[in-house]
Structure 1
Amino acid sequence: MTFTLYHHGSSVCAAKVRFAMAEKGLDWEGVYIDILKGEQFDPEYQKLNPKSVVPTLVHDDKVITDSTVICEYVDRIAPETSLHPDDPYLYAQVRYWTKAVDEDLHPACGAVTFVCSHRHTVARNLGPEGVKKFLESTPEFSVTADWNTKKQIFVRDGFDAPEAPIKIRLYDSYLKKMNEALSDGRDWLVGDAMTIADVAMTPYVNRLAMMSMRGMWEGGRFPHLEAWFARIEALPNFKGCLLDWVPEDLTNDLRNNGAMSWPEVANILEIEI
């Protein structure tokens, strides 16, 4: 089997697939698509992924898009290392988490990341005309059915965008749900073993950590989530899948821009700092 993964260090969805494949012991060849420079809008790449997003997995001559679908696909390809529980009820509990990522958490993460960090990065890297082209190239149906319009607003208005506080509170609500799910003393979100639910949620908690926003769960706010993330960070595949693919300049941007934005986020969530 030959797997080719089109991915980027900034993409939480690509990180999810890298993490899942590593936990399953699957090797892949990578094609790096710099989504902050607009490489996802190259016509040749758009033939593979009309939404102009990453990741895209090519397995031999088969093209699979959308990270949740990719994870389910590779689990069927290599069922001996499945990240989905065999028990139907536990399987359903896992699907609630992956469904929530697709419907709520990922759009919220896109909004929060652009509001807090990426709008500064693309402005510096591309300049005014480059940013205009970057925004106009985004298909209307991408992260959400109206992502082109929404992204322009988040980049232009930042925290003044009407939906910015809503998306921050939505993001935070999933941290609370995770903390509650872990409050019975379990180590993982579903059942007694790590599943795709944990894999799926990891990049979203890590994105906040990379943006200097651990205060959303540390300091006694969500202690069960804090312990869970410490377990995740200690896994052998965490650093290689979640951190090492992020270029140094982007890591610095996320950390510094996030630190600059943290007081605004904390104020919205009424967190004392």
Structure 2
Amino acid sequence: MASGSKEIVGAEPAKLKLYSYWRSSCSQRVRIALNLKGLDYEYETVNLLKDEQFDPEFEKLNPIKYVPSLVDGDVVVGDSLAIILYLEDKYPQHPLLPKDLKKKALNLQVANIVGSSIQPLQNLSILKFIETKFDADEKLKWVQHYIGKGFSALEKLLKDVPGKYATGDEVLLADVFLAPQIDAGVARFRIDMTEYPRLARAHAAYSELPAFQAALPERQPDYPASA
């Protein structure tokens, strides 16, 4: 595993270490949350293409051998949702879950659609398996099918929700999950966002937010020069 550092301007000191990979949308979610909360952190690279997630030392931090993992003093948390909810409890600045129960439920629903019904089906290990059974074209069709299914559901869920972002005019948990998935859909999987105008509107708004921009794959210290 290779080290790099990522500092957020104006962030308060914090003993946080994030095990991350530049292209991981799950890691990107956590980077956004850390940025929104103004938390400084050390970036520790886990190169998935070099199978560094299978390193025994990393397995001690995350037995499922996925990124991200967060180390906060003597607390170790794996899984992006668990990490973000931990940060939400310990670092209450810029709350990501609203007090309003209806809006809170909507944010959790969006996060879970992305985290459970879309992203796992484009996971690197899944795509490698599909390519061994079929070919690269079939792999792309697989991903596009499941992203499209998820985006269609999200579009229906949010179509009547006013505001710049996913669930209104505040940046909340839904946005933290949605932004990386749309980024990956457009940049890697050729998703046509004109089919999802409500999601596209939120996506355009994210491009104006420094916390989201700083978390982009190409802004990470392990982003390869040849990418």
Which of 70, 74, 90 lines up with 1:77 in the alignment? 90
Partner letter of residue 15 of structure 2?
T
User: Would you say the 8 A contact 2:17–2:70 is kept in 1?
Assistant: yes
User: Is 1:244–2:212 an aligned residue pair?
Assistant: no
1:58-69 mapped onto 2 (5 Å cutoff): 58-69=71-82
Task: Give the direction of change, closer, same or farther, for the CA distance of 1:24–1:169 in structure 2 (3 Å limit).
Answer: same
Deviation, 1:237, is: 1.9
Deviation, 1:165, is: 3.9
Counterparts of 1:57 and 1:189, CA distance in 2: 26
Deviation, 1:159, is: 4.5
Query: CA offsets, 1:154-208, max 9 Å, x none?
Result: 23223465x8645422211222233334433432222441111111111111012
Structure 2 stretches of 5 or more lacking a match? 1-13
- Of Structure 1 and Structure 2, which has the larger fraction of its residues in helix? 1
User: Is 1:12–2:25 an aligned residue pair?
Assistant: yes
Which is greater in Rg? 1
Partner letter of residue 130 of structure 2?
F
Query: CA offsets, 1:39-72, max 9 Å, x none?
Result: 1111111111111111100000111000000000
Alignment length (residue pairs) = 210
Partner letter of residue 154 of structure 1?
I
User: Which residue in 1 is equivalent to 2:7?
Assistant: none
Query: CA offsets, 1:207-250, max 9 Å, x none?
Result: 12222725x113xx222222211111111122221131162446
User: Is 1:55–2:30 an aligned residue pair?
Assistant: no
User: Would you say the 8 A contact 1:202–1:232 is kept in 2?
Assistant: yes
SS of residue matched to 1:25: coil
Partner letter of residue 48 of structure 1?
L
Length-normalised TM-score, structure 2? 0.83
Task: Give the direction of change, closer, same or farther, for the CA distance of 1:73–1:212 in structure 2 (3 Å limit).
Answer: same
Length-normalised TM-score, structure 1? 0.70
Structure 1 stretches of 5 or more lacking a match? 115-146, 253-273
Identical positions, percent: 27
User: Which residue in 2 is equivalent to 1:222?
Assistant: 196
